């Protein structure tokens, strides 16, 4: 039996906790490490691989484009850039698109666009109301916009102009609205905080406030967009039409692409060179996103995603009935989460048990990740194309780990 060579990672910057294995191959719902062990991947690159690993259509499209043109620079139009822009506007209520490489860049672009629009149309208004426990990225501005505890001092001084409202508390929003308010920015389903959907009535009232005050409504759908909730956009569940939507992750199915889409009067406010980047709108990443939209446009694709979500909802609800350590289960569609507590009476978070369950489950062959303010939640992010058999196999492994932790 061959013994894998020791892993030398001394040159790799430590930015997150990683196990001592190297992932070497992925196919569909599976990942294989350097020891030959296979895992059902319920992490999928932090919610990016909506089509799973190694999707044949994606590979063919990328190969064809790589042979033709990879990046002529954003100084020129390219065919995939134009094609993707048209697809995004045709499948939304917007008419302009700006491309970048990550969710943080898309949100940074939305912030700049809103503030520039405020300079021109709202007497220099610049404040953007965001929400406690929100997550909008890891650039300095998006960290400042985020309501994640501790982020306001991590790289101080932060970027000013992001007053924080309480989630689902309309009065707290209204108290922050002034003549300096240019936008309200939110996640329709808070991701990092623990898959917390905003109530429809609350979102509709936010829309009303924006209408009354002339503020821009920005919906951050970096994690919850592009099929993750069973619809192309999470906003579609709530019957609201924002002024800007940001998207990434599932948009590229694993490739680094993001988009800021919005109404032309806002998108056209910024001066030339005000937003942009070397790789924005590159043919190779735009082709990937085009392939995603083609797949998601098939009626059976989204129907399957909805079916996956219903199975997950049923299984997780059953766990809540069976295991007291499960304090809550929630989500929309196939975007689901399990929360663990020491006691349902006190609702004291239990991050230690959560980590124990994850380690147990990983040892049995499923990849999982924590979430929530207290790291006491497990978020489930399988590919939207996962088979029913694979889904149940993964959920069986996780349930076994929960049962062992409960006993």
* Beta strand spans in 10-153 (E): 23-27, 30-33, 38-41, 96-100, 127-131
CATH architecture of the domain covering 69-297: 3-Layer(aba) Sandwich (3.40)
How far is C-alpha 120 from the geometric centre of its chain's CA atoms?
Answer: 31
pLDDT tens-digit readout, 21-69: 899 999 999 999 999 999 999 999 999 999 999 999 999 999 999 999 9
Contacts of 163 (CB under 8 A, 6+ apart): 127, 129, 130, 176
- Give the pair of three-digit tokens for residue 185: 């920015």
Q: Measured between alpha carbons, how far is 98 from 212 in angstroms, rounded to an integer? A: 27
DSSP lists the bridge partners of residue 339 as 328, 377
CATH architecture of the domain covering 23-55+299-406: Alpha-Beta Complex (3.90)
Least confident of 6-10, 234-238, 284-288, 385-389: 6-10
- Give the pair of three-digit tokens for residue 121: 């149309």
Q: Measured between alpha carbons, how far is 245 from 249 in angstroms, rounded to an integer? A: 13
Q: How confident is the prediction for the chain on average, in pLDDT?
A: 95
Please give the model's pTM, rounded to 2 decimal places: 0.95
> Tell me, what DSSP letter sits at residue 53?
B
Residue 194 Cα distances to 58, 265, 281, 311, 393, angstroms? 30, 34, 31, 20, 24
Q: Measured between alpha carbons, how far is 265 from 376 in angstroms, rounded to an integer? A: 43
Q: Is the pLDDT of residue 344 over 60?
A: yes
pLDDT tens-digit readout, 164-221: 999 999 999 999 999 999 999 999 999 999 999 999 999 999 999 999 999 999 999 9
Q: Tell me how many helices (H) and strands (E) the chain has.
A: 13, 18
- Give the pair of three-digit tokens for residue 108: 């940074």
Q: Measured between alpha carbons, how far is 204 from 21 in angstroms, rounded to an integer? A: 46
Domain map (residue ranges) of the chain: 23-55+299-406, 69-297
């Amino acid at each position: 039996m061959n013994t894998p060579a020791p892993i030398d990672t001394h040159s790799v910057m430590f930015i997150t906790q990683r196990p001592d294995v190297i992932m070497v191959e992925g196919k569909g719902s599976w990942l294989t490490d350097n020891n030959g062990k296979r895992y059902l991947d319920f992490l999928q690159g932090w919610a990016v691989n909506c089509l799973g690993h190694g999707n044949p259509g994606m590979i063919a499209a990328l190969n064809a484009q790589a042979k033709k043109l990879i990046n002529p620079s954003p100084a020129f139009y390219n065919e995939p850039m134009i094609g993707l822009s048209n697809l995004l506007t045709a499948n939304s209520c917007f008419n302009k698109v700006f491309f970048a490489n990550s969710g943080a860049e898309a949100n940074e672009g939305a912030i700049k666009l809103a503030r520039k629009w405020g300079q021109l149309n709202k007497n220099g208004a610049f404040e953007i109301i965001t929400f406690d426990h929100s997550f909008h990225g890891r650039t300095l501005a998006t960290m400042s916009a985020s309501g994640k505890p501790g982020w306001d001092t991590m790289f101080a001084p932060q970027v000013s102009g992001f007053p924080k409202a309480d989630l689902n508390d309309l009065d707290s929003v209204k108290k922050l609205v002034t003549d300096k308010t240019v936008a309200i920015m939110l996640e329709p389903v808070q991701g990092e905080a623990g898959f917390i959907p905003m109530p429809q009535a609350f979102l509709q009232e936010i829309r009303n406030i924006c209408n009354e005050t002339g503020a821009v409504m920005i919906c951050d759908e970096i994690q919850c967009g592009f099929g993750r909730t069973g619809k192309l956009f999470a906003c579609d569940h709530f019957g609201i039409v924002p002024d800007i939507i940001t998207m990434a992750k599932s948009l590229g199915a694993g490739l680094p692409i993001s988009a800021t889409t919005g109404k032309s009067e806002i998108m056209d406010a910024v001066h030339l060179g005000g937003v942009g980047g070397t790789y924005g709108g590159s043919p190779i990443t735009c082709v990937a996103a085009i392939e995603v939209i083609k797949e998601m446009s098939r009626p059976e694709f989204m129907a399957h995603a909805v079916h996956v979500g219903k199975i997950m909802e049923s299984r997780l609800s059953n766990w809540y009935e069976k295991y007291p350590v499960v304090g809550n289960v929630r989500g929309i569609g196939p975007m689901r989460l399990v929360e663990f507590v020491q006691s349902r009476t006190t609702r004291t978070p239990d991050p230690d048990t959560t980590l124990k369950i994850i380690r147990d489950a990983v040892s049995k062959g499923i990849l999982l990740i924590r979430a929530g303010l207290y790291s006491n939640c497990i978020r489930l992010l399988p590919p939207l194309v996962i088979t029913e058999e694979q889904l149940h196999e993964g959920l069986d492994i996780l349930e076994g780990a929960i049962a062992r932790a409960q006993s």
